[in-house]
A and B are shown apart, each in its own frame.
Chain A
Amino acid sequence: MRLLEYEAKSILTQYGIKTPKGTLLSRNEDPADINYGPCVIKSQVPIGGRKKQRGVLDSDEEPELDRQIQSVFETEIQGYRPAMVLIEEKVEVANEFFMAVTYDTVKKRPVAIFSSEGGIDIEELAQKEPEKICREHFTFRDGLAEYKARQIIADTGISDKLLLGVGSVLSKLATIFIEKDATIAEINPLVLTRENELIALDCHLDIDDDALFRHKDLAGLQKDGSRYEFLHSQTDFERKAAEIDNLDHRGVAGRVIEFDGNLGLIIGGGGASLTAFDAIRAHGGKPANYCEIGGNPSVKKVKELTRHILSKPGVEQIAVIMNVVSNTRVDLVARGIIKGILEAGEKPSETVAVFRVPGAWEEEGIKILKKYGVRYCDRKVSIDQAAQMAVSQG
């Protein structure tokens, strides 16, 4: 769950990281009492790159403020519209830095990242000038002590009191990352003001959904539908799929987006759902839905999802395509798919256009598929080829 900027900043404040003086304004509130002089108006939507999409406006003249606030409230950013805007005092910036803490899935450790160039697109900088970005891994047990944070930052040439200050902020950010079960904690930019204060101008904090049970306050935010407006409202089909996903805690089987086509999709595996979806379309197929399964969902969830997709008018076949998966058992997916088809009163051999799920317990899965005459393929067949097979079946 991505926190809104003001929510993330309130956590920074709790940990002793300074943020600009600001006021939160909801849609029906009168901004008359706000008198900051030059200020920044920021749309509170869970999206990055808001400035490029006119979700962040500078306001230097008071007469313009009302109009600009209204404009930010009305601006839709990638399907989101704010319920609140944050109006912050403009800060005189002497220098900008970037810092983030995230999880390195290759090294299986958290990693702190720092750049002396803040306020920029860090991915772009990483490609063009990778030497300007320093990073260091640490452990969840030890955290990132201030002296270690200073070592990372010193590599960029920062020294003296500034090094102490920035090191302290990075260490605190790592503590937030650990204690709040974040998947990313980023301050971009952290600025040094002309008065030599370090202030976090923007913050991106994503909390691991699976850890929300440990953070009742944050879990409450997730359930609060009034934090912002999401303009793509769920269809009944998508809502029912989400209910299936919530049947139990095991894995994912039900994150669905509805489309107009006739080929049901049950797809997933480390980004492969997007690949499979695009491949189906590239080969001329018309998906009835996008969906994600993974993380070893229960047989019941896969069964219910299968039945649900087949219940959509016009859908007579489904394609089951996943990447090579080590964390999802092929045989359990096969059981769920076949059971769903049988309960829908259809024949598995005719209903499954293709079953391409290589990975854990594959041999057992193949035994099940063979018994029901389902067309399957292993990892020798690419996702693209499997998509082609599915489309040619229809």
Chain B
Amino acid sequence: MGEFVRISVDEKKCGGADKARSLVDVCAVGVFEIKDEHLRVVEENEDECTFCDRCMDVCPNGGVKIIKLYEQ
């Protein structure tokens, strides 16, 4: 689990499994992976998130949430 960043993803809000899977391709630091046919967040990579927002471009409707834990 991330110490500084927490990321969650909602496949449905991203427009289905296929579209959500493209998150795996756009994330340069490996935050997302496909496991058991479903998209999931790789917790050990959450702290590598650079806030590039490319995942937000793929899932613009709140399907991906990124929280800066150090701001809370």
Contact partner of B29 among A298, A339, A368, A371, CB < 8 A?
A: A298
Q: Are B3 and A329 in contact (CB under 8 A)?
A: no
Within 8 A of B (CB), among A315-351: 329, 332, 335, 338-339, 342
Contact partner of A299 among B47, B68, B70, B71, CB < 8 A?
A: B47
User: In the assembled complex, which residues on chain B have CB atoms less than 8 Å from the CB atom of A338?
Assistant: 3-4
Instruction: For the complex, count residues of B whose C-beta is within 8 A of A.
Output: 9
User: In the assembled complex, which residues on chain B have CB atoms less than 8 Å from the CB atom of A312?
Assistant: none
Q: How far is the CB of B1 from chain A (nearest CB, A)?
A: 11
CB nearest neighbor in B for A368: B70
Is A367 interfacial (CB 8 A cutoff)? yes
Q: Are B48 and A300 in contact (CB under 8 A)?
A: yes
Q: How far is the CB of A304 from chain B (nearest CB, A)?
A: 12
Instruction: For the complex, count residues of A whose C-beta is within 8 A of B.
Output: 12
Q: Are B47 and A339 in contact (CB under 8 A)?
A: yes
CB nearest neighbor in B for A336: B47
Q: Are B48 and A368 in contact (CB under 8 A)?
A: no
Q: Are A342 and B29 in contact (CB under 8 A)?
A: no
CB nearest neighbor in A for B5: A335
CA of A332 to CA of B29, assembled, Å: 12
User: In the assembled complex, which residues on chain B have CB atoms less than 8 Å from the CB atom of A367?
Assistant: 68, 70-71
CA of A85 to CA of B70, assembled, Å: 59
CA of A338 to CA of B47, assembled, Å: 11
User: In the assembled complex, which residues on chain B have CB atoms less than 8 Å from the CB atom of A329?
Assistant: 50
CA of A380 to CA of B17, assembled, Å: 50
CA of A79 to CA of B70, assembled, Å: 47
Can you list, as one digit per residue, whether each of B29-72 has a CB less than 8 Å from chain A (1) or not (0)?
10000000000000000011010000000000000000010110
- Interfacial residues, chain A to chain B (CB-CB below 8 A): 298-300, 329, 332, 335, 338-339, 342, 367-368, 371
9 pairs from A and B in contact (CB 8 Å cutoff): A298-B48, A300-B47, A335-B3, A335-B47, A338-B3, A342-B3, A367-B68, A368-B4, A371-B70
